[in-house]
Amino acid sequence: MSIQEKILCSKSHEYLLDNEDGTYTIGLTEYAVKQLGDIVFVELPEVGAEFKKGESFAAIESVKAASEIYMPISGTIKEINDAVVDNPETLNEDVYEKGWLVKIESKAPQSEFADLLEYEDYKEEVE
């Protein structure tokens, strides 16, 4: 199963990957990164910070503009990807293996997943 088959995407262009151990990986979709162009700055939250679904938890800046990144579901930050803070351009190469943003622990109810899209549906929506 490819990673695209496993992720859910929000309409604000974050992806959510279920690690099947109570944690989820969150990143920015390839489409969003392509739209932004050269990524030059990434600001991530601190481990332990709690965010509700829809809250801004990070900022990503391209040459042209700053964008806020929103939580696809509620959760607590368990791990952040320091490598993308040090090398923001990593996101332009890969948004999954190297370019993920944070891992969260979440007990979000099913209702929070209702507006997230399967990758194929998301792709259709944005293209």
Partner 1 sequence: MTKETFLHGKHVALGAKMVDFAGWHMPVQYTSIIEEHKTVREKVGLFDVSHMGEVFVFGKDAMEFLNHIVPQNIEKLVFEKAVYCQLPNKDGGLIDDLIIYKIGIQNYLIICNAARIDEDLNWMIRNKKGFDVTIENESNNYSLLAIQGPSAYDLVKKMGYDAKEQESFTIKLAKVAGHKMLVSRTGYTGEDGFELLVENEIAEEIWDKILSDGNEFGIKPIGLGARDTLRLEAALHLYGNDLDENTTPIEAGLSWSVPKDKVADYNGKNVIMNQIQNGVEKRLIGIKMVDKFIARHGYEVYFNGEKVGTITSGGISPVLGSNIALAYVKNIKEICTGATVQVMIREKLHDAQVVKRPFVQKRNIVKTNK
Give the residues lining the site for partner 1 (CB under 8 A).
37-38, 40-41, 43, 59, 61, 63-66
Q: Which is nearer to partner 1, 10 or 67 (CB)?
A: 67
Residue among 52, 45, 31, 33 at smallest CA distance from 82: 45
Q: What is the DSSP letter of 20?
A: S
What is the nearest approach in angstroms of partner 1 to the Cβ of residue 77? 17
Q: How far is the CB of 18 from partner 1 (least distance, A)?
A: 29
CB of 41 to partner 1, least distance (A): 6
- Cβ distance 26 to 8 under 8 Å? no
Place of tokens 């809250």: 55
